[in-house]
Amino acid sequence: MFDIFVKSHFSAGHHLRDYPGNCERPHGHNWKIEVTIRARKLDKLGMALDFRVAKDGVKKVVDTLDHIDLNEHPAFKECNPSSENIAVYIFENLKKTLTTETYAPYSVEVRETDNCGVIYREDPSAT
């Protein structure tokens, strides 16, 4: 197995509906993202996945979140734009473009700060 990772970031505002504290008020973060794509084998060039392909795929998804009010994003109209839900959103969208017979998204890490974040992995028994 090979785990390829790509780091990215985006800036956006949000608020957590019904949160019992300061996060219920509008505020923003400079989120840091790390995506891991797991590959089972190498191609004829000796690569599990071209980094350029991985970076482009991650950029397309992250760009949909950059410099907006996340509460206005269609994905977060019904659920809070928490780090957890943002990680799921990124993961689900990457599955659409970065999944082949030999590789697929494995995890998405979302950090609100350098010291706080979440890592989302799909439950393998659910697939």
Contact 108, 87 (CB under 8 A): yes
SS3 call for 61? helix
Catalytic one among 9, 24, 67, 79? Answer: 67
- Provide mean pLDDT across the span 46-74: 97
- Whether residue 84 lies in the annotated active site: no
CATH architecture of 2-121: 2-Layer Sandwich (3.30)
- The residues facing 108 across adjacent strands are 35, 120
- Residue 125, pLDDT > 80, answer no
Mean pLDDT score of the chain, rounded to an integer?
A: 95
Residue of 23, 73, 92, 122 marked active site: 23
What pTM did the predictor assign? Answer: 0.94
Q: Both tokens of residue 91?
A: 């993961």
| pLDDT class of 48 with cuts at 50, 70, 90 | very high
Instruction: Judge whether 79 counts as a catalytic residue.
Output: no
> Based on the number of CB atoms within 10 Å of its own CB, is 101 exposed (0-12), middle (13-18) or buried (19 or more)?
exposed
Choose the catalytic residue: 84, 92, 112, 122.
112
| Block residue for tokens 């008020």 | 25
Tell me the sheet residues that pair with 27.
14
Contact status, residue 4 vs residue 51, Cβ threshold 8 Å: yes
In total, the chain counts a number of residues equal to 127
Domain ranges in the chain? 2-121
**Catalytic residue flag (residue 122):** no
